[in-house]
Chain A
Protein backbone atom coordinates (compact mmCIF):
# COMPACT_ATOMS: atom_id res chain seq x y z
CA UNK A 1 0.00 0.00 0.00
CA UNK A 2 1.38 3.40 -0.98
CA UNK A 3 0.60 6.88 0.27
CA UNK A 4 -2.49 8.31 -1.39
CA UNK A 5 -1.91 11.69 0.27
CA UNK A 6 1.58 12.97 0.87
CA UNK A 7 2.09 16.33 2.56
CA UNK A 8 5.56 17.81 3.02
CA UNK A 9 6.48 20.90 5.00
CA UNK A 10 3.11 22.52 4.37
CA UNK A 11 2.81 26.11 5.55
CA UNK A 12 -0.18 28.43 5.46
CA UNK A 13 0.16 31.91 6.76
CA UNK A 14 -2.75 34.34 7.18
CA UNK A 15 -1.53 37.91 7.68
CA UNK A 16 1.65 36.81 9.40
CA UNK A 17 -0.01 34.14 11.55
CA UNK A 18 0.85 30.53 10.73
CA UNK A 19 -2.32 28.42 10.70
CA UNK A 20 -0.35 25.47 9.37
CA UNK A 21 3.32 25.42 10.22
CA UNK A 22 5.55 22.91 8.43
CA UNK A 23 3.11 20.00 8.46
CA UNK A 24 4.20 16.67 6.96
CA UNK A 25 2.32 13.38 6.93
CA UNK A 26 1.16 10.54 4.68
CA UNK A 27 -2.20 8.85 4.39
CA UNK A 28 -1.92 5.24 3.26
CA UNK A 29 -4.21 3.78 0.65
CA UNK A 30 -7.19 1.80 1.96
CA UNK A 31 -7.02 3.15 5.51
CA UNK A 32 -9.24 5.31 7.67
CA UNK A 33 -7.11 8.09 9.11
CA UNK A 34 -8.29 10.58 11.69
CA UNK A 35 -6.96 14.13 11.56
CA UNK A 36 -7.26 15.31 15.13
CA UNK A 37 -6.47 18.39 17.12
CA UNK A 38 -8.07 21.07 19.28
CA UNK A 39 -10.05 23.94 17.77
CA UNK A 40 -7.75 26.21 15.79
CA UNK A 41 -5.13 23.48 15.33
CA UNK A 42 -5.27 23.86 11.55
CA UNK A 43 -7.37 20.79 10.61
CA UNK A 44 -9.92 22.64 8.49
CA UNK A 45 -7.23 24.74 6.80
CA UNK A 46 -5.34 21.54 5.97
CA UNK A 47 -8.47 19.84 4.58
CA UNK A 48 -9.28 22.93 2.51
CA UNK A 49 -5.75 22.96 1.09
CA UNK A 50 -6.19 19.29 0.22
CA UNK A 51 -9.33 20.33 -1.67
CA UNK A 52 -7.61 23.25 -3.44
CA UNK A 53 -9.95 25.74 -1.77
CA UNK A 54 -7.06 27.47 0.01
CA UNK A 55 -3.66 28.03 -1.59
CA UNK A 56 -0.69 27.03 0.61
CA UNK A 57 1.97 29.62 1.35
CA UNK A 58 4.63 26.96 0.72
CA UNK A 59 5.17 23.23 0.89
CA UNK A 60 3.98 20.31 -1.17
CA UNK A 61 0.71 18.40 -1.39
CA UNK A 62 0.61 15.28 -3.54
CA UNK A 63 -2.63 13.38 -3.93
CA UNK A 64 -2.64 10.26 -6.13
CA UNK A 65 0.92 11.33 -6.97
CA UNK A 66 -0.33 14.59 -8.54
CA UNK A 67 -0.06 18.20 -7.48
CA UNK A 68 -2.29 21.26 -7.82
CA UNK A 69 -2.90 23.11 -10.07
CA UNK A 70 -1.70 20.89 -12.93
CA UNK A 71 -3.37 17.73 -11.57
CA UNK A 72 -6.51 19.43 -10.26
CA UNK A 73 -9.02 17.81 -12.60
CA UNK A 74 -7.61 14.33 -12.03
CA UNK A 75 -7.32 14.72 -8.26
CA UNK A 76 -10.78 16.19 -7.70
CA UNK A 77 -12.35 13.67 -10.07
CA UNK A 78 -11.15 10.83 -7.84
CA UNK A 79 -11.97 12.26 -4.43
CA UNK A 80 -15.05 13.54 -2.71
CA UNK A 81 -15.91 15.52 0.37
CA UNK A 82 -18.70 15.59 2.90
CA UNK A 83 -19.41 17.80 5.87
CA UNK A 84 -22.55 18.54 7.86
CA UNK A 85 -21.46 22.19 7.82
CA UNK A 86 -21.65 22.44 4.04
CA UNK A 87 -25.14 22.32 2.64
CA UNK A 88 -26.36 20.88 -0.58
CA UNK A 89 -28.80 23.33 -2.18
CA UNK A 90 -31.91 23.12 0.00
CA UNK A 91 -34.18 24.39 -2.75
CA UNK A 92 -33.44 21.38 -4.98
CA UNK A 93 -35.12 18.01 -4.59
CA UNK A 94 -32.91 15.16 -3.41
CA UNK A 95 -32.79 13.50 -6.84
CA UNK A 96 -32.09 16.87 -8.50
CA UNK A 97 -29.09 17.40 -6.24
CA UNK A 98 -27.77 13.94 -7.04
CA UNK A 99 -28.31 14.41 -10.79
CA UNK A 100 -26.51 17.77 -10.66
CA UNK A 101 -23.47 16.45 -8.80
CA UNK A 102 -23.41 13.25 -10.79
CA UNK A 103 -23.17 15.32 -13.96
CA UNK A 104 -20.49 17.53 -12.44
CA UNK A 105 -18.41 14.40 -11.83
CA UNK A 106 -19.24 13.01 -15.27
CA UNK A 107 -20.70 9.80 -13.81
CA UNK A 108 -21.65 7.26 -16.49
CA UNK A 109 -25.08 5.57 -16.26
CA UNK A 110 -25.94 8.18 -13.69
CA UNK A 111 -29.53 7.15 -13.02
CA UNK A 112 -28.51 3.53 -12.44
CA UNK A 113 -25.74 4.72 -10.13
CA UNK A 114 -28.15 6.88 -8.13
CA UNK A 115 -30.56 3.95 -7.96
CA UNK A 116 -27.97 1.62 -6.49
CA UNK A 117 -26.75 4.22 -3.99
CA UNK A 118 -30.34 5.04 -3.04
CA UNK A 119 -30.75 1.44 -1.92
CA UNK A 120 -27.33 1.35 -0.24
CA UNK A 121 -28.06 4.44 1.87
CA UNK A 122 -31.83 3.87 2.12
CA UNK A 123 -32.76 7.25 0.72
CA UNK A 124 -35.22 6.09 -1.94
CA UNK A 125 -38.28 7.07 0.09
CA UNK A 126 -37.33 10.78 0.13
CA UNK A 127 -35.83 11.21 -3.33
CA UNK A 128 -38.60 13.66 -4.29
CA UNK A 129 -38.39 15.74 -1.14
CA UNK A 130 -36.89 19.21 -1.16
CA UNK A 131 -33.49 18.95 0.48
CA UNK A 132 -34.25 21.56 3.16
CA UNK A 133 -37.14 19.40 4.36
CA UNK A 134 -34.89 16.47 5.26
CA UNK A 135 -34.24 15.41 8.84
CA UNK A 136 -30.62 15.51 10.06
CA UNK A 137 -30.25 11.76 9.63
CA UNK A 138 -31.69 11.83 6.11
CA UNK A 139 -29.45 14.76 5.25
CA UNK A 140 -26.35 12.91 6.47
CA UNK A 141 -27.23 9.93 4.29
CA UNK A 142 -27.82 12.21 1.30
CA UNK A 143 -24.44 13.85 1.89
CA UNK A 144 -22.76 10.45 1.94
CA UNK A 145 -24.65 9.38 -1.18
CA UNK A 146 -23.42 12.48 -2.97
CA UNK A 147 -19.92 11.74 -1.69
CA UNK A 148 -19.93 8.29 -3.28
CA UNK A 149 -21.45 9.27 -6.63
CA UNK A 150 -18.10 9.32 -8.42
CA UNK A 151 -16.79 6.11 -6.80
CA UNK A 152 -14.06 8.10 -5.05
CA UNK A 153 -10.73 6.55 -4.16
CA UNK A 154 -10.40 9.11 -1.37
CA UNK A 155 -13.06 10.56 0.92
CA UNK A 156 -12.44 13.65 3.01
CA UNK A 157 -14.97 13.89 5.82
CA UNK A 158 -15.23 16.86 8.13
CA UNK A 159 -16.88 15.80 11.41
CA UNK A 160 -19.37 13.52 9.66
CA UNK A 161 -21.23 12.67 12.87
CA UNK A 162 -21.29 16.13 14.44
CA UNK A 163 -24.75 17.17 15.66
CA UNK A 164 -26.18 13.68 15.08
CA UNK A 165 -28.02 11.85 17.85
CA UNK A 166 -26.25 8.70 19.16
CA UNK A 167 -28.41 6.36 17.07
CA UNK A 168 -27.86 8.18 13.77
CA UNK A 169 -24.18 8.74 14.62
CA UNK A 170 -23.75 5.01 15.20
CA UNK A 171 -25.52 4.16 11.92
CA UNK A 172 -23.26 6.65 10.12
CA UNK A 173 -20.17 5.02 11.62
CA UNK A 174 -21.38 1.60 10.48
CA UNK A 175 -21.94 3.03 7.01
CA UNK A 176 -18.45 4.50 6.89
CA UNK A 177 -16.95 1.16 7.94
CA UNK A 178 -19.00 -0.60 5.30
CA UNK A 179 -17.95 1.89 2.61
CA UNK A 180 -14.30 1.43 3.50
CA UNK A 181 -14.46 -2.37 3.66
CA UNK A 182 -16.63 -2.98 0.60
CA UNK A 183 -15.22 -0.29 -1.66
CA UNK A 184 -11.67 0.03 -0.39
CA UNK A 185 -12.05 3.80 -0.13
CA UNK A 186 -9.32 5.69 1.71
CA UNK A 187 -10.89 8.00 4.29
CA UNK A 188 -9.35 11.01 5.97
CA UNK A 189 -11.63 12.55 8.51
CA UNK A 190 -11.75 15.02 11.33
CA UNK A 191 -13.72 14.47 14.51
CA UNK A 192 -13.81 15.57 18.11
CA UNK A 193 -15.39 12.30 19.18
CA UNK A 194 -12.41 10.24 20.38
CA UNK A 195 -14.49 7.13 21.05
CA UNK A 196 -15.57 7.20 17.44
CA UNK A 197 -12.00 7.73 16.28
CA UNK A 198 -10.80 4.74 18.32
CA UNK A 199 -13.57 2.61 16.85
CA UNK A 200 -13.02 3.62 13.23
CA UNK A 201 -9.47 4.70 12.59
CA UNK A 202 -6.49 2.63 11.53
CA UNK A 203 -4.28 5.62 12.21
CA UNK A 204 -4.57 9.04 13.79
CA UNK A 205 -2.61 12.22 13.15
CA UNK A 206 -2.56 14.76 15.97
CA UNK A 207 -1.88 18.33 15.02
CA UNK A 208 -1.56 21.31 17.29
CA UNK A 209 -0.88 24.92 16.35
CA UNK A 210 -0.47 23.82 12.76
CA UNK A 211 2.29 21.32 13.56
CA UNK A 212 2.36 17.56 13.64
CA UNK A 213 2.29 16.56 17.28
CA UNK A 214 2.16 12.78 16.94
CA UNK A 215 0.83 9.97 14.79
CA UNK A 216 0.16 6.26 15.06
CA UNK A 217 -2.61 3.76 15.60
CA UNK A 218 -5.03 4.64 18.43
CA UNK A 219 -3.71 1.71 20.50
CA UNK A 220 -0.09 2.76 19.97
CA UNK A 221 -0.79 6.31 21.10
CA UNK A 222 -2.73 5.17 24.17
CA UNK A 223 0.22 2.93 25.12
CA UNK A 224 2.84 5.56 24.31
CA UNK A 225 1.24 8.21 26.51
CA UNK A 226 0.26 5.70 29.23
CA UNK A 227 -3.39 6.81 29.19
CA UNK A 228 -6.73 5.07 29.56
CA UNK A 229 -8.05 5.89 26.12
CA UNK A 230 -7.67 8.21 23.15
CA UNK A 231 -9.77 10.89 24.81
CA UNK A 232 -7.16 11.12 27.60
CA UNK A 233 -4.39 11.21 25.01
CA UNK A 234 -6.19 14.07 23.25
CA UNK A 235 -6.54 16.02 26.51
CA UNK A 236 -2.91 15.39 27.38
CA UNK A 237 -1.64 16.55 23.97
CA UNK A 238 -4.00 19.51 23.76
CA UNK A 239 -2.98 20.75 27.20
CA UNK A 240 0.73 20.28 26.65
CA UNK A 241 2.44 23.39 25.29
Chain B
Protein backbone atom coordinates (compact mmCIF):
# COMPACT_ATOMS: atom_id res chain seq x y z
CA UNK B 1 0.00 0.00 0.00
CA UNK B 2 1.35 3.41 -0.95
CA UNK B 3 0.53 6.52 1.08
CA UNK B 4 0.89 8.88 -1.91
CA UNK B 5 -1.99 7.10 -3.68
CA UNK B 6 -4.18 7.03 -0.58
CA UNK B 7 -3.51 10.70 0.15
CA UNK B 8 -4.21 11.60 -3.50
CA UNK B 9 -7.81 10.44 -3.18
CA UNK B 10 -8.20 11.91 0.29
CA UNK B 11 -7.02 15.30 -0.95
CA UNK B 12 -9.20 15.00 -4.08
CA UNK B 13 -12.27 14.81 -1.80
CA UNK B 14 -11.05 17.50 0.56
CA UNK B 15 -10.76 19.88 -2.42
CA UNK B 16 -14.49 19.37 -2.93
CA UNK B 17 -15.44 19.84 0.72
CA UNK B 18 -13.28 22.95 0.91
CA UNK B 19 -15.50 24.96 -1.38
CA UNK B 20 -18.78 23.08 -1.66
CA UNK B 21 -21.42 24.46 0.67
CA UNK B 22 -23.92 21.65 -0.17
CA UNK B 23 -21.32 19.04 0.81
CA UNK B 24 -20.63 20.73 4.13
CA UNK B 25 -24.40 21.00 4.64
CA UNK B 26 -24.73 17.29 3.96
CA UNK B 27 -22.34 16.61 6.82
CA UNK B 28 -23.68 19.20 9.25
CA UNK B 29 -27.34 19.86 8.46
CA UNK B 30 -28.99 16.50 9.25
CA UNK B 31 -27.03 15.75 12.43
CA UNK B 32 -27.68 19.23 13.83
CA UNK B 33 -31.40 19.06 13.00
CA UNK B 34 -31.68 15.64 14.62
CA UNK B 35 -29.81 16.84 17.67
CA UNK B 36 -32.17 19.80 18.02
CA UNK B 37 -35.33 17.70 17.68
CA UNK B 38 -34.17 14.96 20.05
CA UNK B 39 -32.64 17.49 22.42
CA UNK B 40 -35.90 19.38 22.85
CA UNK B 41 -37.82 16.11 23.15
CA UNK B 42 -35.39 14.94 25.82
CA UNK B 43 -35.84 18.18 27.77
CA UNK B 44 -39.58 17.73 27.62
CA UNK B 45 -39.38 14.10 28.83
CA UNK B 46 -37.07 15.19 31.63
CA UNK B 47 -39.69 17.71 32.76
CA UNK B 48 -42.21 14.86 32.97
CA UNK B 49 -39.90 13.40 35.65
CA UNK B 50 -40.15 9.78 34.64
CA UNK B 51 -38.47 8.04 37.58
CA UNK B 52 -34.79 7.10 37.23
CA UNK B 53 -34.54 7.94 33.56
CA UNK B 54 -32.23 10.65 32.30
CA UNK B 55 -33.65 11.31 28.86
CA UNK B 56 -31.07 13.90 27.84
CA UNK B 57 -28.19 11.58 28.58
CA UNK B 58 -29.67 8.49 26.97
CA UNK B 59 -31.35 10.01 23.93
CA UNK B 60 -28.72 12.60 23.04
CA UNK B 61 -25.95 10.03 23.45
CA UNK B 62 -27.88 7.74 21.12
CA UNK B 63 -28.48 10.48 18.53
CA UNK B 64 -24.82 11.44 18.45
CA UNK B 65 -23.64 7.82 18.23
CA UNK B 66 -26.16 7.10 15.50
CA UNK B 67 -24.81 10.01 13.48
CA UNK B 68 -21.29 8.63 13.82
CA UNK B 69 -22.50 5.38 12.26
CA UNK B 70 -24.46 7.21 9.59
CA UNK B 71 -21.55 9.50 8.63
CA UNK B 72 -19.18 6.58 8.36
CA UNK B 73 -21.46 4.62 6.01
CA UNK B 74 -22.30 7.64 3.88
CA UNK B 75 -18.70 8.75 3.52
CA UNK B 76 -17.57 5.51 1.85
CA UNK B 77 -20.67 5.29 -0.35
CA UNK B 78 -20.59 8.91 -1.48
CA UNK B 79 -16.83 8.82 -2.17
CA UNK B 80 -17.49 5.89 -4.50
CA UNK B 81 -20.56 7.45 -6.10
CA UNK B 82 -18.64 10.68 -6.64
CA UNK B 83 -16.25 8.81 -8.94
CA UNK B 84 -19.17 7.27 -10.85
CA UNK B 85 -21.04 10.59 -11.20
CA UNK B 86 -17.88 12.30 -12.47
CA UNK B 87 -17.10 9.35 -14.80
CA UNK B 88 -13.75 9.15 -13.07
CA UNK B 89 -13.62 5.44 -12.19
CA UNK B 90 -11.67 4.65 -15.34
CA UNK B 91 -9.15 7.42 -14.70
CA UNK B 92 -8.37 6.27 -11.19
CA UNK B 93 -8.34 2.54 -11.93
CA UNK B 94 -5.93 2.90 -14.85
CA UNK B 95 -3.42 4.32 -12.38
CA UNK B 96 -1.50 1.86 -10.18
CA UNK B 97 -4.08 2.52 -7.42
CA UNK B 98 -5.11 -0.66 -5.63
CA UNK B 99 -8.63 -1.37 -4.48
CA UNK B 100 -7.39 -1.64 -0.90
CA UNK B 101 -5.84 1.84 -1.19
CA UNK B 102 -9.13 3.18 -2.52
CA UNK B 103 -10.91 1.83 0.55
CA UNK B 104 -8.34 3.11 3.00
CA UNK B 105 -8.82 6.56 1.48
CA UNK B 106 -12.59 6.32 2.03
CA UNK B 107 -11.89 5.26 5.60
CA UNK B 108 -9.86 8.43 6.11
CA UNK B 109 -12.52 10.59 4.46
CA UNK B 110 -15.00 9.01 6.88
CA UNK B 111 -12.72 9.83 9.79
CA UNK B 112 -12.56 13.47 8.73
CA UNK B 113 -16.35 13.63 8.49
CA UNK B 114 -16.72 11.90 11.84
CA UNK B 115 -14.36 14.31 13.57
CA UNK B 116 -16.18 17.28 12.07
CA UNK B 117 -19.62 16.01 13.09
CA UNK B 118 -18.33 14.83 16.48
CA UNK B 119 -16.91 18.23 17.37
CA UNK B 120 -20.00 20.13 16.21
CA UNK B 121 -22.46 17.83 17.99
CA UNK B 122 -20.39 17.62 21.18
CA UNK B 123 -20.15 21.41 21.43
CA UNK B 124 -23.78 22.00 20.49
CA UNK B 125 -25.16 19.39 22.90
CA UNK B 126 -23.07 20.77 25.74
CA UNK B 127 -24.01 24.40 25.08
CA UNK B 128 -27.72 23.73 24.55
CA UNK B 129 -28.46 20.77 26.81
CA UNK B 130 -25.49 20.55 29.17
CA UNK B 131 -24.82 17.05 27.85
CA UNK B 132 -21.16 16.15 28.03
CA UNK B 133 -20.31 13.46 25.50
CA UNK B 134 -16.92 13.02 27.13
CA UNK B 135 -18.58 11.82 30.35
CA UNK B 136 -17.94 8.40 28.89
CA UNK B 137 -14.21 9.00 29.23
CA UNK B 138 -11.87 6.66 27.41
CA UNK B 139 -14.68 4.15 26.84
CA UNK B 140 -15.93 6.59 24.22
CA UNK B 141 -13.03 5.82 21.88
CA UNK B 142 -13.43 2.04 21.37
CA UNK B 143 -17.21 2.34 21.11
CA UNK B 144 -17.02 5.12 18.52
CA UNK B 145 -14.32 3.24 16.60
CA UNK B 146 -16.55 0.19 16.47
CA UNK B 147 -19.43 2.22 15.11
CA UNK B 148 -17.12 3.84 12.60
CA UNK B 149 -15.85 0.48 11.33
CA UNK B 150 -19.33 -1.02 11.17
CA UNK B 151 -20.59 2.01 9.20
CA UNK B 152 -17.63 1.64 6.85
CA UNK B 153 -18.37 -2.08 6.35
CA UNK B 154 -22.00 -1.26 5.54
CA UNK B 155 -20.81 1.40 3.09
CA UNK B 156 -18.56 -1.14 1.38
CA UNK B 157 -21.55 -3.48 1.10
CA UNK B 158 -23.74 -0.70 -0.38
CA UNK B 159 -20.94 0.03 -2.88
CA UNK B 160 -20.76 -3.63 -3.88
CA UNK B 161 -24.49 -3.55 -4.64
CA UNK B 162 -24.08 -0.30 -6.63
CA UNK B 163 -21.22 -1.96 -8.50
CA UNK B 164 -23.43 -4.93 -9.33
CA UNK B 165 -26.64 -3.06 -10.24
CA UNK B 166 -25.33 0.38 -11.25
CA UNK B 167 -26.46 3.77 -10.03
CA UNK B 168 -30.09 2.67 -10.03
CA UNK B 169 -29.15 1.19 -6.64
CA UNK B 170 -27.62 4.43 -5.35
CA UNK B 171 -30.52 5.04 -2.98
CA UNK B 172 -28.71 2.52 -0.77
CA UNK B 173 -26.04 5.14 -0.13
CA UNK B 174 -28.59 7.14 1.87
CA UNK B 175 -31.23 4.66 2.94
CA UNK B 176 -29.33 1.48 3.72
CA UNK B 177 -28.35 2.43 7.24
CA UNK B 178 -32.00 2.99 8.24
CA UNK B 179 -32.65 -0.72 7.66
CA UNK B 180 -30.60 -1.67 10.70
CA UNK B 181 -31.80 1.13 13.00
CA UNK B 182 -34.84 -0.64 14.50
CA UNK B 183 -32.73 -3.70 15.39
CA UNK B 184 -29.68 -1.85 16.72
CA UNK B 185 -31.39 -0.78 19.96
CA UNK B 186 -30.37 2.81 19.34
CA UNK B 187 -32.94 4.56 21.53
CA UNK B 188 -34.17 1.64 23.64
CA UNK B 189 -32.58 -1.45 25.19
CA UNK B 190 -32.59 -4.80 23.40
CA UNK B 191 -35.03 -6.05 26.04
CA UNK B 192 -37.63 -3.67 24.56
CA UNK B 193 -37.60 -5.66 21.32
CA UNK B 194 -39.92 -8.65 20.84
CA UNK B 195 -38.23 -11.85 22.03
CA UNK B 196 -37.79 -13.27 18.51
CA UNK B 197 -35.96 -10.13 17.35
CA UNK B 198 -33.50 -9.98 20.22
CA UNK B 199 -31.10 -12.61 18.76
CA UNK B 200 -31.26 -10.69 15.46
CA UNK B 201 -30.24 -7.52 17.28
CA UNK B 202 -27.18 -9.25 18.69
CA UNK B 203 -26.00 -10.08 15.18
CA UNK B 204 -25.26 -6.37 14.71
CA UNK B 205 -22.10 -4.75 16.16
CA UNK B 206 -24.09 -1.53 16.59
CA UNK B 207 -26.36 -3.20 19.16
CA UNK B 208 -23.39 -3.96 21.43
CA UNK B 209 -22.19 -0.38 21.10
CA UNK B 210 -25.53 1.21 21.97
CA UNK B 211 -26.07 -1.18 24.87
CA UNK B 212 -22.52 -0.44 26.00
CA UNK B 213 -23.06 3.29 25.71
CA UNK B 214 -26.15 3.10 27.93
CA UNK B 215 -24.27 1.04 30.46
CA UNK B 216 -21.54 3.68 30.68
CA UNK B 217 -23.93 6.63 30.81
CA UNK B 218 -26.34 5.16 33.33
CA UNK B 219 -24.23 2.86 35.51
CA UNK B 220 -20.88 4.54 34.90
CA UNK B 221 -19.19 1.25 34.09
CA UNK B 222 -17.72 -0.07 30.87
CA UNK B 223 -19.16 -3.44 29.92
CA UNK B 224 -16.25 -5.33 28.44
CA UNK B 225 -18.39 -8.26 27.24
CA UNK B 226 -20.37 -5.74 25.16
CA UNK B 227 -17.20 -4.13 23.87
CA UNK B 228 -15.70 -7.49 22.88
CA UNK B 229 -19.03 -8.48 21.35
CA UNK B 230 -18.89 -5.38 19.14
CA UNK B 231 -15.29 -6.06 18.13
CA UNK B 232 -15.96 -9.73 17.30
CA UNK B 233 -19.11 -8.97 15.28
CA UNK B 234 -17.30 -6.15 13.46
CA UNK B 235 -14.42 -8.42 12.50
CA UNK B 236 -16.89 -10.79 10.83
CA UNK B 237 -18.78 -7.98 9.04
CA UNK B 238 -15.59 -6.31 7.81
CA UNK B 239 -14.18 -9.56 6.42
CA UNK B 240 -17.45 -10.56 4.72
CA UNK B 241 -18.27 -7.12 3.26
CA UNK B 242 -14.76 -6.49 1.89
CA UNK B 243 -14.65 -10.00 0.38
CA UNK B 244 -18.10 -9.42 -1.14
CA UNK B 245 -16.96 -6.14 -2.71
CA UNK B 246 -13.83 -7.74 -4.19
CA UNK B 247 -15.97 -10.51 -5.70
CA UNK B 248 -18.34 -7.95 -7.20
CA UNK B 249 -15.40 -5.97 -8.57
CA UNK B 250 -14.03 -9.05 -10.34
CA UNK B 251 -17.55 -9.85 -11.58
CA UNK B 252 -18.03 -6.42 -13.22
CA UNK B 253 -14.55 -6.62 -14.74
CA UNK B 254 -15.48 -9.96 -16.28
CA UNK B 255 -18.78 -8.53 -17.53
CA UNK B 256 -17.10 -5.38 -18.84
CA UNK B 257 -19.45 -3.22 -16.78
CA UNK B 258 -17.01 -1.21 -14.69
CA UNK B 259 -17.50 1.80 -16.93
CA UNK B 260 -21.21 1.26 -17.42
CA UNK B 261 -22.45 1.78 -13.89
CA UNK B 262 -24.74 4.70 -14.64
CA UNK B 263 -28.35 3.70 -15.03
Residues on A close to B: CB < 8 A? 12, 14, 19, 45, 48, 51-55, 72-74, 76-77, 79-81, 86-93, 96, 99-106, 146
A72 to B97, CA, bound (A): 10
Task: Determine whether the beta carbon of B94 is less than 8 Å from that of A51.
Answer: yes
Task: Determine whether the beta carbon of A53 is less than 8 Å from that of B91.
Answer: no
A119 to B94, CA, bound (A): 25
Task: Determine whether the beta carbon of A53 is less than 8 Å from that of B97.
Answer: no
**Given A103-B7, A103-B11, A105-B95: A89 and B86 within 8 A (CB)?**
yes
Task: Determine whether the beta carbon of A45 is less than 8 Å from that of B256.
Answer: yes
A81 to B89, CA, bound (A): 13
Q: What are 25 inter-chain pairs, A to B, with CB distance below 8 A?
A: A14-B255, A48-B256, A53-B253, A54-B253, A54-B254, A54-B256, A74-B96, A76-B95, A77-B95, A79-B94, A81-B91, A86-B87, A86-B259, A89-B12, A91-B20, A92-B15, A100-B12, A101-B8, A103-B7, A104-B8, A104-B9, A104-B92, A105-B95, A106-B2, A106-B4
B9, B88, B97, B255 — most chain A CB neighbours (10 Å): B88
Minimal beta-carbon separation of A100 from chain B (angstroms): 4
Task: For the complex, count residues of B whose C-beta is within 8 A of A.
Answer: 31
Minimal beta-carbon separation of A240 from chain B (angstroms): 27
Task: Judge if B164 is at the interface, Cβ distance under 8 Å.
Answer: no
Which chain B residue has the least Cβ–Cβ distance from A91?
B16
Measured between beta carbons, the chain B residues less than 8 angstroms from A99 are 11
Task: Determine whether the beta carbon of A104 is less than 8 Å from that of B255.
Answer: no
Task: Determine whether the beta carbon of B5 is less than 8 Å from that of A104.
Answer: yes
Which chain A residue has the least Cβ–Cβ distance from B250?
A55
Task: Determine whether the beta carbon of B96 is less than 8 Å from that of A73.
Answer: yes
Residues on B close to A: CB < 8 A? 2, 4-5, 7-9, 11-12, 15-16, 20, 82, 86-88, 90-98, 250, 253-256, 258-259
6 shortest A-B CB distances, which residue pairs? A103-B8, A104-B95, A89-B86, A100-B12, A73-B96, A104-B8
Chain B binding surface, main DSSP class: helix
Task: Determine whether the beta carbon of A77 is less than 8 Å from that of B12.
Answer: no
Chain A binding surface, main DSSP class: mixed
Minimal beta-carbon separation of B251 from chain A (angstroms): 10
Task: Determine whether the beta carbon of A101 is less than 8 Å from that of B87.
Answer: no
Measured between beta carbons, the chain B residues less than 8 angstroms from A76 are 94-96
Measured between beta carbons, the chain B residues less than 8 angstroms from A80 are 94
Minimal beta-carbon separation of B253 from chain A (angstroms): 5
Minimal beta-carbon separation of B4 from chain A (angstroms): 5
Measured between beta carbons, the chain A residues less than 8 angstroms from B95 are 76-77, 101, 104-105
A104 to B98, CA, bound (A): 10
Apart from the given pairs A81-B90, A103-B8, 15 other A-B contacts in the complex at a CB distance below 8 Å:
A45-B256, A51-B90, A53-B94, A73-B96, A76-B94, A86-B87, A86-B90, A89-B12, A89-B82, A103-B4, A104-B4, A104-B8, A104-B92, A105-B95, A106-B96
Task: Determine whether the beta carbon of A81 is less than 8 Å from that of B11.
Answer: no
Measured between beta carbons, the chain A residues less than 8 angstroms from B2 are 106
Task: Determine whether the beta carbon of A48 is less than 8 Å from that of B250.
Answer: no
A225 to B9, CA, bound (A): 50
Measured between beta carbons, the chain A residues less than 8 angstroms from B96 are 72-74, 76-77, 104-106
Minimal beta-carbon separation of A29 from chain B (angstroms): 20
Minimal beta-carbon separation of A155 from chain B (angstroms): 12
